[in-house]
Structure 1
Amino acid sequence: MTDGLDAEIEDAAAVATRRDELAARVRTHAGQMARELAVLQGGDYGQETFDTDGGTWTLKYEAGDVQYLRFEPNSGAETYVVSSKQPPEPGPLETAMADYEAFVDAFNDHIDSFDGLLAETPDEFPPIASTAELVAERDRIVERIRDVANAMACELHRYDGEYGTYATTVSGRRWELKWEGDVASYLRVGGSDGTYLLSQYGPASAPDVRRLADDVPAFVDAFNDHVDDLEADLSRVSFDEQ
């Protein structure tokens, strides 16, 4: 009677090697299909499902390469033929590979279904209306506002220091002018979340300029009244020489 300890153990290395080689070839081949899908669908990631007589294949791709290829047979457990984890077991891989050619045919049919899709799509379009005149007029008005704001900044610099802000209310909206030296840094209307009629980042939109430009004279009048009040205050100061 033998205890079996002398029985020869089959070497699984050859099967594992064949499995790994086959899985690597499938990854490369499925990667080509993934790149085709990425080009077709116009994105860096996505997935597509393909039905065959043997089951359902799902190809998911990311960054133009295959992320996984999953086979769900009509009966039995699903198999990740390609995945970011361990390779599939030899048995399920063999089952999947028996249907792999049908999967490739289904993939090719999917790609072929788009042939001629854009043949009748127009590639000539109406001319685009130009905003050149509108922008030029917007810039002309904004430049006049900037000249006025810089003149105000110059006076404020002379009286109130190197930099600061002057604010008043016009038509129920807060107008705020910030100056640095003799230059207006910005002219903002409507508080901290308002519209920058002037700023270092560029002019306001044409609709905003149209909406606010009518109140610029009132803003200037308020500033002049402010200066007049300052002059009146200074006129009351006396210096009697002893």
Structure 2
Amino acid sequence: MSRLRARAQFVRVGSRCALSSLGGGHVYIAVKGVVGIEAGAAGSDVRVITSLLYPGDVFVPELQPPLPGLALISQRTAEFWKLTASVFAEEAAHDSHLWQVIFTRLNDQNARSQMHAAAMSILNSEERVAAFLIETGTRLGMTSGGVISFELPLSRYSIADYLSLNADTVSRTFSALTTARIIERRGRFQIVIRDWAALMEKCPMGDAFVAAHGAGAHVTGRPPLIR
């Protein structure tokens, strides 16, 4: 994937970017930051984040569902490589393995989206919050001194949109996990998972989330978590 960098346009996406502003005919590869794909319903203020893009993920605007108000949303500025479809096709013609890499990435992302949809149907509010912490901990966490720490990639309201909960429920669940000494809050966005095993016990789909996100966590060369 890194060989595409020389022919890509480097673009930054702010905290909110309407999908319509991206235009068509391009392939985007996430290289920094975590980005949510947000949608709404016509005539409603309800918003939902249907999936998250992590570094190494591939994003093609034309492959998104025809939902109203589609946008990319992030806590901080995210960075992408942007390639025209013709440049991508030319590179793929020179290296057939590129197609396999892209297909595998898109297939992994589709599997993650299906698992997330299943979790929103099966899990209760506490289990959803635990699933989110397991997902982001697996993806972003660094192990030090027997704990796992990472920065939340989304605001409380965006986490609520991703989990189909209200923000107060998310806050109460975070507080309960803190009181139980499963997690620790350090500042507004820093999370420390003090008891990974206890967190896993809070989510019946925990092993599935680790399996789905564990391999992808190492796309940028980050070492695996030691649990």
> For this structure pair, what is the TM-score category when the shorter chain's length is used for normalisation?
under 0.3
Give the structure-1-normalised TM-score. 0.21
Give the TM-score normalised by the residue count of structure 2.
Answer: 0.22
Between 1 and 2, higher relative CO (CA 8 Å, sep ≥ 6) is seen in 2
Structure of larger gyration radius = 1
